[in-house]
C-alpha cells in the first residue's frame, strides 16, 4: 500500500493547455481523502505551483527548484530551503556568453527574453543583479547549444553544484542547484517526518531531474517521458492526453 504519491509538474501533471485535467483532479482528491499524501516535485518556481493550488487544493507538500525548497502546505511552513551562495553565483555569471536565468522564490530573472519564463524580469547588468538579488536565488538555468555543452560542463564540474540536463522542444538547458540536492533527497526530508518508507512511495516523472526519485521509489514514467527515465521505471503509462497521472492513480489506488 502506497502512502505517498510524488509527481513531477510540467510534462507530467499538467496537460498541453497547462491545466490539470478534471478527471485527474478527482483522482487526486480521492486518494488524498484516503490519507495518501500528494507531493509535487518540480524545477519550477514555488509561486507557480501555489498559483495552481490557490484555485484547486491538490497537494500536501511542494518541492521546488529540484529540491532546494520544500513547503508544508498543511502547516504553512518551510520545511527546508537551500539557496545558492552569492560566491557561487559570481562564478556562474562567468558563463554570461550563454543565456542565463535565475530563479528566486517568486520571480525568474533572465538575460534573454526570447525564452518563456514564469514571472520573468530581464537583467540589464549581471553584477548589479547579483549585488541586489544574489541572496535570494535557488536555481540557475543555462541555455546551451550542442557545440557549447563540453565547455559548460567542464566549467561547472569544478563548482559545488548539482545539475540536470533538460529539453523543451528545440531548447536545451541545464538546471543548476546546490550540491547534493535533487528531488529524491527532498522527498527523504518529508518522509522522515511522516513515518513512510521508500517502498511506500509511488513517483511519477518524465525527465532527467526525476532520475533519482524514479530509481529509488516505485517509479513510473509518463508516455511522453525521456528514454533514460523509461529504462529505469517500473512501468510506462499509455495515456498521453492526461500525461498519465490519472492512469497511474486509477491503477494502483483502487
- CATH code at 54? 3.40.50.1000
Please give the residue range of the domain that contains residue 38. Answer: 4-81+181-252
Nearest to 177 by CA among 70, 80, 65, 92: 65
- Rounded Cα gap, residues 95 and 47, in angstroms: 27
Do 9 and 70 reside in the same domain of the chain?
yes
- Report pLDDT digits (tens) over 142-169: 999 999 999 999 999 999 999 999 988 8
Which among 126, 152, 178 is the end of a domain? 178
Nearest to 151 by CA among 115, 103, 90, 97: 97
- 46 contacts 103 by C-beta, under 8 angstroms: no
Q: In DSSP terms, which residues pair with 78 in a beta bridge?
A: 71
Which among 124, 150, 178 is the end of a domain? 178
Predicted local distance difference test score (pLDDT) of residue 31: 97
Predicted local distance difference test score (pLDDT) of residue 193: 87
Do 28 and 74 reside in the same domain of the chain?
yes
Give the number of domains in the chain: 2
Do 76 and 185 reside in the same domain of the chain?
yes
Do 165 and 101 reside in the same domain of the chain?
yes
Do 165 and 111 reside in the same domain of the chain?
yes
Predicted local distance difference test score (pLDDT) of residue 97: 94
Q: Which residues of the chain, if any, have pLDDT below 70?
A: 241
Amino acid at each position: 500500500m502506497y502512502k505517498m504519491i510524488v509527481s513531477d509538474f510540467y510534462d507530467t501533471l499538467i496537460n498541453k493547455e497547462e491545466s490539470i485535467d478534471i478527471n485527474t483532479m478527482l483522482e487526486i482528491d480521492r486518494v488524498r481523502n484516503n490519507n495518501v499524501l500528494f507531493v509535487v516535485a518540480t524545477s519550477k518556481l514555488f509561486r507557480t505551483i501555489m498559483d495552481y493550488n490557490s484555485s484547486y487544493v491538490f497537494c500536501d507538500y511542494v518541492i521546488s527548484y529540484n529540491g532546494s525548497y520544500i513547503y508544508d502546505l498543511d502547516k504553512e511552513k518551510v520545511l527546508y530551503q537551500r539557496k545558492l551562495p552569492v560566491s557561487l553565483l559570481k562564478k556562474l555569471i562567468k558563463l554570461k556568453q550563454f543565456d542565463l536565468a535565475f530563479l528566486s522564490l517568486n520571480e525568474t530573472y533572465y538575460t534573454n527574453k526570447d525564452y518563456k519564463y514564469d514571472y520573468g524580469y530581464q537583467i540589464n547588468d549581471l553584477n548589479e543583479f547579483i549585488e541586489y538579488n544574489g541572496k535570494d536565488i535557488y536555481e540557475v538555468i543555462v541555455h546551451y547549444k550542442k557545440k557549447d555543452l563540453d565547455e559548460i560542463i567542464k566549467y561547472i564540474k569544478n563548482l559545488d553544484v548539482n545539475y540536470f540536463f533538460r529539453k523543451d522542444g528545440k531548447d536545451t538547458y541545464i538546471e543548476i542547484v546546490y550540491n547534493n540536492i535533487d528531488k529524491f533527497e527532498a522527498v527523504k526530508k518529508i518522509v522522515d517526518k511522516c513515518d513512510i518508507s521508500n517502498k511506500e512511495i509511488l513517483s511519477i516523472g518524465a525527465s532527467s531531474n526525476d532520475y533519482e526519485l524514479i530509481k529509488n521509489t516505485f517509479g513510473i514514467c509518463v508516455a511522453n517521458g525521456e528514454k533514460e527515465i523509461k529504462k529505469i521505471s517500473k512501468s510506462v503509462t499509455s495515456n498521453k492526453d492526461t500525461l498519465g497521472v490519472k492512469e497511474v492513480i486509477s491503477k494502483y489506488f483502487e
